[in-house]
Amino acid sequence: MTVPLSHATVLLSEAVEALNVRPSGVYVDGTYGRGGHSAKIIEQLGSEGRLVVIDKDPDAIAHARALYQGDVRFAAWHGSFRDFPAALAAHGIEGQLDGLLLDLGVSSPQLDDAARGFSFMRDGDLDMRMNPSQGLSARQWLMQADEKEIADVLWLYGEERFSRQIARAIVRSRVASPLLTTLQLAELVAQAVPKREPGKHPATRSFQAIRIKVNQELDDVEACLQQVVGQLSPQGRLVVISFHSLEDRLVKHFMRDQSTPPRLPKGLPVMEQQVVPVMRLVGKAVRPSTAEIDANVRARSATMRVAEKV
């Protein structure tokens, strides 16, 4: 196991409080990271409670297993949170879920480890995979994708307005020599961007978009949400922390749709009280306090949403 790097858990108390943890409940932390939320959840569990943690990153899972070795309340599962029903089934606790927590995006240890290739500020192999043993790396994808696909990804996932110029520069550059490192890509993007946003590195949006593509992050969120209602127990909670507008939009629309009664044609013999939504919203969207952002600048874009199964 690699030595865990520092990680400040965003909305730690708020997220665990929103889960409404019961001592005998069953909970899933779908994005273990370095276990900040998990530690606070398991503190509140009794001997009958269960916590299943999931992460794509093998370092995160190794950290979890080492930390909670021998704790019968705890189980770790290596994979995507989209497959959380399989993780529950593997541990014999399917259909009993009282809460699912998702803290989306990349973790601080992944960003801070140059060898993982997530950061445009540190030179390392252009990888970006949360699970380095699965799928194409960023380097491999950039070497084989055509110009239109690269531009579409930069625009869709990074909302990068200079996506076409950047894609063109990448395709031209790779003909002469392969893109191998993060700083190579960051410098190439910086040269291709004609106008810069104040206070933001020109490669920020491109790195974000490529990371989302390589790890299928939005696909994972959509697939996970579609399974939540069927897995949660009555009064079970879904708590999601997003750091990207596209992720937050998916979560917001899902929770809104599930908490809105279906529209029925006029004249149907159905009483209003018979048409009940499957979930209810719990409070409004929560964002980090000024104090938390001052202590951890990476928290500034976080948004937390909570829904409960009716």
Look up the CATH number of the domain holding residue 228.
Answer: 3.40.50.150
Same domain, 159 and 289: no
The last residue of a domain, from among 196, 215, 234: 215
Sign of CA dihedral 214, 307, 78, 96: negative
Same domain, 195 and 250: no
The last residue of a domain, from among 155, 190, 215: 215
Look up the CATH number of the domain holding residue 204.
Answer: 1.10.150.170
Q: Answer yes or no: is 25 within a domain.
A: yes
Q: Answer yes or no: is 246 within a domain.
A: yes
Element (H, E) at 241: strand 232-242
Structure tokens at 94: 């399917």
Q: How confident is the model at residue 207 (pLDDT cuts 50, 70, 90)?
A: very high
pLDDT at residue 273 tops 60: no
Q: Which residue has the tokens 């202590």?
A: 295
Average pLDDT across the chain, whole number: 93
Region for residue 47 given its phi and psi (left: phi exceeds 0; alpha: psi -120 to 50; beta: otherwise): alpha
pLDDT at residue 85 tops 80: yes
Same domain, 179 and 202: yes
Q: Which residue has the tokens 């399917």?
A: 94
pLDDT at residue 272 tops 70: no
Percent of the chain with pLDDT strictly greater than 90: 85
Percent of the chain with pLDDT strictly greater than 70: 94
Q: Which residue has the tokens 């996506």?
A: 163
pLDDT of residue 174: 94
Asked whether the beta carbons of 48 and 118 are under 8 A apart, the reply is no
pLDDT at residue 168 tops 90: yes
- What is the distance between the alpha carbons of residues 289 and 48, in angstroms, rounded to a whole number? 34
Asked whether the beta carbons of 307 and 256 are under 8 A apart, the reply is no
Average pLDDT over residues 239-254: 96
The residue type at 214: V
pLDDT at residue 267 tops 70: no
The whole domain housing 224 covers 12-103+217-309
pLDDT of residue 307: 98
